[in-house]
Structure 1
Amino acid sequence: MRRILFTGGGSAGHVTVNTALIPKFRELGWEIYYMGSYQGIEAELIRRLKDVRYIGISTGKLRRYLDWKNVTDPFRVIKGCYEAYRKIKHIKPDVVFSKGGFVSVPVVLGARLNKVPVVIHESDITPGLANRIAIPFASKVCATFPETLEHLPRGKSDLVGAVVREELKNGDAARGLAFCGFTNREPVLLVMGGSLGSQRINGMVRNNLDRLIDRFQIVHICGKGQIDRTLISQRYRQYEYVTDRLPDMMAMADIVVSRAGSNAIFEFLALHKPMLLIPLSKQASRGDQILNAESFEKRGFCHVLREEDMNDDSFVDSILRLYDRRTEIAENMTRHHEEDAAGKVIQLIMDTAK
C-alpha cells in the first residue's frame, strides 16, 4: 500500500486543500497520514476524518513582527524538525504534500532528511514565509495564480489552479435556511472573517446590525471565542466556526463578505457567490490578500473595500452596492473556466512519489 503524508495548518486556509484531496487518495487506496501541531486548528479538523492517522509535533510560529515568543519559538521549530524526522523515518511515506503554514516547515525539512519527495501547494499570488523557507527542499511546487510562477523556481513549478472542496458544491439552500431559521423570501448575507475570525469585520457587522438586518438575514461566522451573546435577533445568527453545515450556508447566501484568503475566494467563485472582499492590510500581513482581491476585482468577481477605508458608512454602502450588482457579478463568475485542479495535483503527487 502506498503512503502519503499531508501537512499544513495554523489556519483553516492551510487545511482545506488537504481535506479536498484526502478523499481522493482514500478512493485510490493510499494509506493516509497527517502531521501538524498538537492542538492547532488542523488537529481539530483532521482528527474527525476517518482513515487518517494524525501525528502531532512541536511547532513554532514564524512572525514578521516583534514578539517575545520569537526567542522561544525557533527552539520549538528545531524540536519539531527532530520529531518530524523520526516519525517520518518510521512511517516511510512515498511522498509528502504540504499546504503551507508555519506547522509545515519542520515536516518538509524532516522529509528532506529522510529523502522523501515533497510537493508544495501555494494558494496566494506570492508565496508565504513558510513556503519560501520550504520551497528549496521541495521536488515540485503547485501554483494557483498564473502570476505566482514569477515568484517560483523554474523547472519544478506547475500552474494547477484552485483546488475546491467537492462537498461545497452539494450544499442545499433549503437546509441552510431551515438550520438558521431563515425565510426564503428575503436575501441572505454570509459574513466570514476566516477560521480565526476578524475582530474588525465582526465589529463592523455588529455596529451596523440594525441597518443591515433591515435589508438582510445575516449568518455570521465570527471565529473562536468571538460570539456576542448580547445580540439576539431572528434575522442574525452567529457561529464560531462551521464545518458540516457550511455547504448549506454557502448555498443559501445571496452575497458574501469575506477576507481575501485564496482558498475561500476561489470557493465563492466556484459557487458563483458575489463577494465584498476586505483584505488584511499591509500592516497586518505581507499584502497577499490585497493582491488576491485586486486580481479578482479586475475580473469582475467582487467588490473590494480596503481596511483603511472602512468605516460604518463605507461598510454598509459597499454591501448594498454589491447586492445591487449581484446578478452582473454572478454572470461574470459563470464565464470563469474551472479546471480540474484536484486531478492535476493528484497526478503530480503520484508522479513525484518515490
Structure 2
Amino acid sequence: IWAGWVFRKKIIIHQQDIRPTLSNKLCSWCASKITVSFEKSLSDYPKEKTEWIGNPVRDALLGANADISREKFGFRSDQPIILITGGSSGSKALNEWVWKNLGALCAQFQILHLTGKDKSSPNIKHENYHQIEFLGGDMFHALALADMVISRAGISIITELSFLGKVAVIIPLPGTHQEDNAFFVEEAHAGIVYRQDKLDSHVARDIVNLLHSQDERTRLSRAISGLMKKGGREQMIEIISEYESK
C-alpha cells in the first residue's frame, strides 16, 4: 500500500471487523478512501474519507437455493439440517464437541460438519452425519441448505448469515477479534453465543431445544437479517469505479 502511495496510486482500504486492524490504522493516512462494515467503526478513521457501507458478500450467495443444495449434498427434506463450521482451517475444539454430542444432535437432525483439512475422523459415522474437510467455492450451497449454522465469528461468515437470515450459534475463537464480533451479535440479540471453554452437553441440549422452537428461530432469523447493512458489494463497486475515473 505504501509503495502504491509513493507512485501516486489511489488507495482504498476496507475495515471488516469491529476491532480496527493495525495494518489499516497504519495505512489510513495514505488512503484515498476508507470503507467500514460497522457504523461504530466510523470513529476509528478520519471522518472526511471514511464511509460505512457494510461488508460485501460473494456473488454466489445471490443465487443460493436450499432445494438445489440439499440435492447436491444428498440431504433429505424431512429433518432440519445443521451446518457446523470451524472456519477455513477448522477447529479441533469444535470438532471434538460435535463428536462427543453426535448422538443427541443426530437423533433428530441432519449434520453437515466442515472439519478443516486433515481434521476429519473416518471412525465417526452416523446416517445423519456428513463430514467434509473443506468446501471452498461450494460453501454457499452449505449455507443455503442449513436451518441453523454453528460457526466461528469471522466477519465474512457473520455477513453471510445476516444476508441469508440464518439462525446462528456463534463460538468465537478465544483471544481474537472474533470475540468483539460475537459480542456485537449477542448485543443485538441476533444469535446465540457460547465461549469455547463452555462447550458441553448442555450446549447440545440448548441447540436441540432451539431447533424445536419455531418462534425463537423466527425471531433470531429476523434479528440477524437486520444485523448488517446491505448493499456493501454494490457500494464498493461504485467507490472503486469512482476512483478509477479520477
Is TM-score (shorter-chain normalized) higher than 0.5? yes
Match of 1:352 in 2: 243
Q: Which has the higher contact order (CA 8 A, sep 6+)?
A: 2
| Aligned equivalents of 2:199, 2:189: Cα separation in 1 | 23
Deviations along 1:169-217, one digit per CA (max 9) or x if unpaired, are 3122223222322210001000111112111111111121122111211
SS of equivalent residue, structure 1 residue 231: coil
Q: Are residues 129 and 241 of structure 1, via their aligned partners in 2, closer, same or farther at CA, if it must alter by over 3 Å?
A: farther
Q: Do the aligned partners of 2:38 and 2:52 also contact (CA within 8 Å) in 1?
A: yes
Which residue identity is paired with 1:291? D
From 48, 52, 57, the equivalent of 1:155 is 48
Q: Do the aligned partners of 2:147 and 2:166 also contact (CA within 8 Å) in 1?
A: yes
Q: Do the aligned partners of 2:97 and 2:199 also contact (CA within 8 Å) in 1?
A: yes
SS of equivalent residue, structure 1 residue 155: helix
Once the two structures are aligned, what percentage of the paired residues are identical? 29
- Mapping 1:218-257, distance limit 5 Å: 218-257=111-150
| Aligned equivalents of 2:180, 2:228: Cα separation in 1 | 21
Deviations along 1:7-41, one digit per CA (max 9) or x if unpaired, are xxxxxxxxxxxxxxxxxxxxxxxxxxxxxxxxxxx
Which residue identity is paired with 1:298? E
Q: TM-score, normalised by structure 1?
A: 0.64
| Aligned equivalents of 1:176, 1:350: Cα separation in 2 | 34
Give the C-alpha shift of residue 321 in structure 1: 4.2
Give the C-alpha shift of residue 131 in structure 1: 2.3
From 216, 219, 234, the equivalent of 1:343 is 234
Deviations along 1:207-248, one digit per CA (max 9) or x if unpaired, are 211221112110011212211122122211112221343222
Q: TM-score, normalised by structure 2?
A: 0.90
Q: Do the aligned partners of 2:162 and 2:226 also contact (CA within 8 Å) in 1?
A: no
| Aligned equivalents of 1:292, 1:198: Cα separation in 2 | 18
Q: Are residues 153 and 334 of structure 1, via their aligned partners in 2, closer, same or farther at CA, if it must alter by over 3 Å?
A: closer
Give the C-alpha shift of residue 338 in structure 1: 4.9
| Aligned equivalents of 2:130, 2:102: Cα separation in 1 | 11
Work out whether 1:302 is the aligned partner of 2:191. yes
| Aligned equivalents of 2:103, 2:138: Cα separation in 1 | 26
SS of equivalent residue, structure 2 residue 19: coil
Work out whether 1:269 is the aligned partner of 2:162. yes
Match of 1:260 in 2: 153
Which residue identity is paired with 2:119? Q
Which residue identity is paired with 1:238? Q
| Aligned equivalents of 2:170, 2:128: Cα separation in 1 | 22
Structure 2: gaps of 5 or more residues: none
From 1, 24, 31, the equivalent of 1:131 is 24
SS of equivalent residue, structure 1 residue 279: coil
Work out whether 1:292 is the aligned partner of 2:185. no
SS of equivalent residue, structure 2 residue 48: coil
| Aligned equivalents of 2:39, 2:192: Cα separation in 1 | 21
Match of 1:193 in 2: 86
Give the paired residue count: 242
Which residue identity is paired with 2:234? G
Which residue identity is paired with 1:352? Y
Based on CA coordinates, which of the two structures has the bigger radius of gyration?
1
Q: Are residues 337 and 276 of structure 1, via their aligned partners in 2, closer, same or farther at CA, if it must alter by over 3 Å?
A: closer
Work out whether 1:215 is the aligned partner of 2:108. yes
